[in-house]
Amino acid sequence: MDFSFETVPTFVWVLIAIYFIYWIKNPRLSKNEPPMVPYKIPIIGHTLNYLIDAENFLIECRQKVTTIAGNEAAHEVYKHDDTFNLLSATRDTFPLYRVLKSFDNPETMERVVKTIREGITAKLPLYTGRMQKQLMISINKEIGDCSNPKLIITANGNFSSMIARPVADILGQEISKKEDVIKAFADFTKDFGSILAIPPIFSFIHPKLHTQVITLPLRFGWNPIGKHVITLKKHLKPVLEKRLKDKEILGDKYEPPLDIIEYLLNNPEYETKVVTDDYLNEICEFLFIIIVTSIHTTSRHLTSALYDFAGRPELWEDIYEEQVRIDKECNGELSPQHIDKMMKLDSFLRESFRNFGTVGRIVQTYLADIHYNTTAYGPEPKSFYPYHGLENNFAASKTDKNYFTFGSGKRACPGRFFAVNEIKTCMHKLILNYHIKTPSGKIEKKIHYGTIAMPPDTGLIFENRKKNKI
Ligand code: HEM
DSSP string, 122-167: TTHHHHHHHHHHHHHHHHHHHT---SS-EEE-GGG-HHHHHHHHHH
In angstroms, rounded to a whole number, what is the distance separating the alpha carbons of residues 220 and 134? 39
Q: How far apart are alpha carbons 442 and 27 in whole angstroms?
A: 43
If one counts every other C-beta atom within 10 angstroms of the C-beta of residue 336, the result is 14
Of these ranges, 177-181, 219-223, 292-296, the one predicted with the greatest mean pLDDT is 177-181
Say if residue 179's pLDDT is above 50: yes
Q: Which atom of ligand 1 is least distant from the CA of 423?
A: 1
C-alpha pair distances (Å), 52 with each of 15, 89, 451, 467: 35, 23, 9, 46
Ligand 1, atom 39, residue with closest C-alpha: 411
Residue nearest (by alpha carbon) to ligand 1 atom 41: 411
The pLDDT value recorded for residue 362 is: 41
pLDDT of residue 17: 76
The residue contributing the CA closest to ligand 1 atom 35 is 113
Query: ipTM, 2 decimals?
Result: 0.98
Q: What is the pLDDT of residues 313-332, one digit of tens each?
A: 999 999 999 999 999 999 99
Measured in Å, residue 411 CA sits from the centre of ligand 1 at 9
Q: Is the pLDDT of residue 6 over 70?
A: no
- pLDDT per residue over 265-276, tens digit each? 999 999 999 999
Task: Supply the pLDDT for residue 470.
Answer: 39
Task: Choose which residue among 82, 170, 293 to substitute to test ligand 1 binding: the one with the highest number of ligand atoms within 8 A of its C-beta.
Answer: 293
Q: For residue 409, which atom of ligand 1 is closest to its CA? A: 16
What integer pLDDT is reported at residue 376 of this predicted model? 86
Q: Region 7-36: what's the mean pLDDT?
A: 65
- CB count, 10 Å around CB of 372? 18
| Residue pLDDT, tens place only, 112-159 | 999 999 999 999 999 999 999 999 999 999 999 999 999 999 987 779
Higher pLDDT, 367 or 84: 367
| pLDDT at residue 169 greater than cutoff 60 | yes
In this predicted structure, what is the pLDDT of residue 469?
Answer: 43
Question: What integer is the mean pLDDT of 439-451?
Answer: 86
Distances in whole angstroms, Cα of residue 109 to Cα of each of 104, 143, 397: 8, 35, 21
Least confident of 25-29, 134-138, 405-409: 25-29
* C-alpha to C-alpha distance for 425 and 423, rounded to whole angstroms: 6
What is the average per-residue pLDDT within 64-72?
53
Residue ranges lining ligand 1, Cβ < 6 Å: 78, 86, 109, 112-113, 116, 120, 290, 293-294, 297-298, 301, 405-408, 411-416, 418-419
For the segment 177-198, the average pLDDT, to the nearest whole number, is 86
pLDDT at 146: 97
Q: What are phi and psi of 310, to 5 degrees?
A: -65, -30
**Most informative mutation of 297, 370, 421 for ligand 1 (most atoms within 8 A of CB):** 297
pLDDT given at position 360: 43
Q: Is 413 annotated as a binding residue?
A: yes
pLDDT at 270: 94
Query: Average pLDDT of 14-28?
Result: 66
Condensed to tens digits (0 to 9), the pLDDT of residues 340-393 reads: 999 999 999 999 999 986 444 444 556 777 888 888 898 999 999 999 999 999
Instruction: Give the nearest ligand 1 atom to 301 CA.
Output: 1
- Identify the residue whose C-alpha is closest to ligand 1 atom 6: 406
Rounded distance from Cα 125 to ligand 1 centre (Å): 20
The protein residue whose alpha carbon is closest to atom 11 in ligand 1 is 413
The pLDDT, as a whole number, for residue 242 is 98
> What are the E-state strand segments in 29-96?
none
Could you tell me the pLDDT band of residue 76, with boundaries at 50, 70 and 90?
Answer: low
pLDDT at residue 404, as a whole number: 87
Distance in Å, CA 240 to ligand 1 centroid: 27
Q: Which atom of ligand 1 is nearest to the CA of 302?
A: 1
Pocket probe for ligand 1: among 165, 287, 290, 406, the residue whose CB has the most ligand atoms within 8 Å is 406
In the reported structure, the alpha carbon of residue 51 is separated from the centroid of ligand 1 by a whole-number distance in angstroms of 25
Domains of the chain: 77-464 (1.10.630.10)
Q: Tens digit of pLDDT for each residue in 227-247?
A: 999 999 999 999 999 999 999
- Which residue has its alpha carbon closest to ligand 1 atom 37? 413
What is the whole-number distance in angstroms between the Cα of residue 149 and the centre of ligand 1? 35
Residue 68 has pLDDT above 80, yes or no: no
In this prediction, residue 47 has a pLDDT band, given cuts at 50, 70 and 90, of low
